Amino acid sequence: MAFRGATAPIAACSLMARYTDTIRVVPVRYCICAVVALLAVSSGAAQQQASTTYRYTVFVGGTVAGSEDVTVQATAAGLTISGKGRLSGSSDIVMRRAEVRYRADWTPEVFELEATVNGGDTQLQTTFDGQEAVTQGIDGGQKIAQKNFLPASRVLILPNVFFGTFEALTRRLIGATPGQEFPAFLGAGALGTLRLVSASTERMQVGTSIFNARRYEMTFTNPRGTTAVNLYSAENGTLLRVNLPTPMIDVLREDLASSTARTLVYSNPGDEAVNIPAAGFNLGATITRPKTEAARVPAVILLGGAAASDRDGAVAGVPILGQLAGALADAGFVAVRFDKRGYGQSGGRSESATMTDYADDALAVFRWLANRRDIDRDRIVIIGHNEGAWTALLAATRERDIAGVVTLESPATSGKERVVEQQRHVLERMQLAPADRVARIELQERINAAVLSGKGWEGIPADMRKQADTPWFQSFLAFDPARVMRDIRQPLLIVHGELDAEVPASHMDKLAELAKASRSQAVAVVGVRDVNHLLIPAIRGELDEYATLKDRALSKDVTTAITSWLTKTFQAIR
């Protein structure tokens, strides 16, 4: 999983449903971090170390939304986390000073906050005594005095926009075991339940240096539902990253937000890191080779969706492209996956990239492969997952020498239709009044129209325009697979999980209908039972189920369908 500026433009298309409520702060005491609260518990005392200070960058939907300077001091008396920073979004928040203190036994002692929210003054203090929390002060200009009973004395303090408090969580997670559940205090009157799902060690690369990092998959549950969360730390407990996949929020330590940093999320025995020349910059990539190679072998280019900018195609903790590359190599094919431009170890600028630009990058990889002596240039196929399938189709229409196309979980409607469909599905699962749902859909449609036309931004909040009015989102809304499909000449395989809740299986049927109007003489369609959008076995297929699934391996039915079709297609080409 690469780190620099998590490029996830699809967040803009579901802007209202996915994280309007996450970023809106009214009032401060009802923690905007409620959805990103993390699980952390361990029986040990705080580690003893000198005071350290780091800067963290906050990304929302791939756009920088703020930063924090965080100082952590561990002593024999306990742990103190202090900081200051700023966050922009539906509310403009300036955190002048924030501090959280824990005693040596990890019981909370105090939380203090001095901030300005949309120009209004906030000064809050919460003191903890056993299972009681007392909050006093001014919140948005209003006085507050409130007592809360806590379900346990060692609750986690996760107040408001102070992401630095996660530093305590990473330390307490050392030694925690999957399945543990613990309460968290989010602010006056706000509590949640936290659960550790799994813990693993990953290798992280910054420049040429590689070190181990801990990755924790967690869930947070409050009355509004359950959210999946990923937390990363150094082996000594220092916070590296907080990632909320569904609303696409990333909090990264500054050095990890650089273009030289990436997490080695997934590796295969035949992996080799390479740099591929593109239009004025290089693409950081991994080539996976089969165990036994002939003189000239067939190759496959792998493309991820909008929510997966790293080369491994990691979505909700599942390295889709990384696993697929391994399966392809086992079947005798060379597979190439790469970081998107402006992300991970790839150059270029993500903020100005369009779908056409991403197709250009895919074609740069094709030309690089075609010029290699160990690759059969007549047998190079391109595979795309979700929106990556659209990029694959677009690239194939521009390069006839691409030998075949495979779409995985591909949308079949236009971009603007896809956005509204996704919005409706998310809103249906929220506890909202019908009139509120209608209003949000109407607002999303107004945003879409304004992005496409450049007009009609009046009355649309400035932060929403900032997140939606981008070259990528405009190209996404304007994209229509029906138009592109007509120019497809190559053999085409359409694969779709029948439990996909993000891109319902009805898209598979529609895409198959569109393929009938293409110039392709060979179209195959495979629907895979009991498989979700991540191509892994599932029960319901909904997003909130992702974190609970124990089997994180790609379905063998999916990989077999792909490799069998490739073998048949390449034999026909030869």
In this structure, is residue 175 part of a structural domain? yes
46-60, 94-108, 276-290: least confidently modelled range: 46-60
Most confident of 202-211, 220-229, 552-561: 552-561
pLDDT beyond 80 at 254: yes
Confidence (pLDDT) at 415: 94
Tell which wins on pLDDT, 179 or 182: 179
Q: Cβ(108)–Cβ(114) under 8 Å?
A: no
157-161, 281-285, 370-374, 416-420: least confidently modelled range: 157-161
Tell which wins on pLDDT, 228 or 529: 529
Q: Cβ(254)–Cβ(56) under 8 Å?
A: yes
In this structure, is residue 250 part of a structural domain? yes
- Residues pairing with 206 in the sheet: 209, 261
What CATH number should be reported for the domain holding residue 292?
A: 3.40.50.1820
How far apart are alpha carbons 414 and 280 in whole angstroms? Answer: 31
pLDDT beyond 70 at 61: no
- Total number of domains in the chain: 3
pLDDT beyond 50 at 464: yes
Considering the domain architecture, whether residues 320 and 359 belong to the same structural domain is answered as yes
SS3 of the chain: helix, strand, coil, percent, to 5: 30, 35, 35
Q: How confident is the model at residue 127 (pLDDT cuts 50, 70, 90)?
A: very high
Considering the domain architecture, whether residues 108 and 218 belong to the same structural domain is answered as yes
Considering the domain architecture, whether residues 174 and 301 belong to the same structural domain is answered as no
In this structure, is residue 256 part of a structural domain? yes
Q: How confident is the model at residue 30 (pLDDT cuts 50, 70, 90)?
A: very low
Both tokens of residue 408?
A: 């995985």
- pLDDT mean over 535-563: 93
Q: How confident is the model at residue 535 (pLDDT cuts 50, 70, 90)?
A: very high
Q: Which of 547, 48, 140, 562 is nearest to 332 (CA)?
A: 562
Q: Cβ(338)–Cβ(321) under 8 Å?
A: no
Give the distance from CA 190 to its chain's centroid.
26
* Among candidate residues 261, 294, 316, the one where a domain is terminated: 261
- pLDDT mean over 354-362: 95
pLDDT beyond 60 at 5: no
What mean pLDDT value characterizes the chain? 84
Considering the domain architecture, whether residues 151 and 283 belong to the same structural domain is answered as no
In this structure, is residue 1 part of a structural domain? no
Tell which wins on pLDDT, 91 or 30: 91
Percent over 90 (pLDDT), the chain: 53
- Residues pairing with 266 in the sheet: none
pLDDT beyond 90 at 55: yes
pLDDT beyond 70 at 128: yes
pLDDT beyond 80 at 448: yes
Confidence (pLDDT) at 45: 34
Give the distance from CA 273 to its chain's centroid.
23
Considering the domain architecture, whether residues 242 and 375 belong to the same structural domain is answered as no
45, burial (CB in 10 Å: exposed 0-12, middle 13-18, buried 19+): middle
How far apart are alpha carbons 546 and 532 in whole angstroms? Answer: 9
Confidence (pLDDT) at 37: 27
- Residues pairing with 404 in the sheet: 381
In this structure, is residue 327 part of a structural domain? yes
Confidence (pLDDT) at 206: 65
Q: Which of 351, 284, 320 is nearest to 62 (CA)?
A: 351
In this structure, is residue 89 part of a structural domain? yes
pLDDT beyond 80 at 189: no
How far apart are alpha carbons 69 and 84 in whole angstroms? Answer: 6
The predicted-structure confidence for 278-313, as pLDDT tens digits, reads as follows 988 999 999 999 987 677 899 999 999 988 888 999
Q: Which of 39, 17, 161 is nearest to 95 (CA)?
A: 161
Q: Which of 413, 362, 364, 361 is nearest to 383 (CA)?
A: 362
Considering the domain architecture, whether residues 242 and 130 belong to the same structural domain is answered as yes
Considering the domain architecture, whether residues 512 and 551 belong to the same structural domain is answered as yes
The predicted-structure confidence for 335-350, as pLDDT tens digits, reads as follows 999 999 988 788 888 8
320 phi and psi angles, rounded to 5 deg: -60, -50
In this structure, is residue 124 part of a structural domain? yes
Q: Give the alpha-carbon dihedral of 13, 251, 157, 464, to 10 degrees.
A: -30
In this structure, is residue 148 part of a structural domain? yes
Considering the domain architecture, whether residues 257 and 269 belong to the same structural domain is answered as no
Both tokens of residue 151?
A: 């379900």
Domain extent for 328: 265-413+481-573
pLDDT beyond 50 at 446: yes
Q: In Å, what is the CA distance from 298 to each residue of 245, 261, 270, 364?
A: 34, 31, 15, 17
Q: Cβ(33)–Cβ(163) under 8 Å?
A: yes
Q: Which of 571, 512, 551 is nearest to 323 (CA)?
A: 551
Confidence (pLDDT) at 345: 83
* Among candidate residues 204, 227, 261, the one where a domain is terminated: 261
- pLDDT mean over 388-397: 97
Considering the domain architecture, whether residues 540 and 391 belong to the same structural domain is answered as yes
Considering the domain architecture, whether residues 425 and 468 belong to the same structural domain is answered as yes
Q: How confident is the model at residue 11 (pLDDT cuts 50, 70, 90)?
A: very low
The predicted-structure confidence for 101-116, as pLDDT tens digits, reads as follows 999 999 999 999 999 8
* Among candidate residues 429, 448, 473, the one where a domain is terminated: 473
165-174, 198-207, 487-496, 547-556: least confidently modelled range: 198-207
Q: Cβ(387)–Cβ(305) under 8 Å?
A: yes
Tell which wins on pLDDT, 89 or 7: 89
Considering the domain architecture, whether residues 469 and 488 belong to the same structural domain is answered as no
Considering the domain architecture, whether residues 437 and 395 belong to the same structural domain is answered as no
Residue type, 102: Y
